Amino acid sequence: MFELFEKAVLTALGAAAITQKKGEEMIQEMKSRYKISEEEGRAFLERIQEMARTGQQKSAEMAETEVKKALDRMGMVSREEFEKLERRVKTLEALQAEGVSSQPEDECLG
């Protein structure tokens, strides 16, 4: 699981590393070294950036899936489940404080 997280972070860093300035430098290098036009260089750079974004998104999705699986295996509840339980406890505490503890559970769960 850590390997997936590591890949996601490295992909994100790789995508972030290709900044506008770095991109311009790459285009100039390609123009001089490979004799390509500015348009070809920009198109190439855009394809690279898109591939990095796609890879980053896929890595993030994979990492999220693996983390959810790991939490499930450990018996951990999701944030949504926790908040639902928290609301239920608050409702039950409020009912108990009012002295309405004889009310059926289903009615206080909302």
Lookup result for tokens 């796609």: 54
Tell me the mean pLDDT in the region 71-89.
93
9 touches 36 (CB < 8 A):
no
Going from the C-alpha of 91 to that of each of 71, 81, 82, 99, 110, the distances in angstroms are 27, 15, 14, 12, 9
- Tokens representing 107 are 């009615």
Span 39-74, pLDDT tens digits: 988 888 888 888 878 888 888 899 889 888 998 899
If we measure between CA atoms, which residue out of 59, 75, 67, 45 comes closest to residue 12?
59
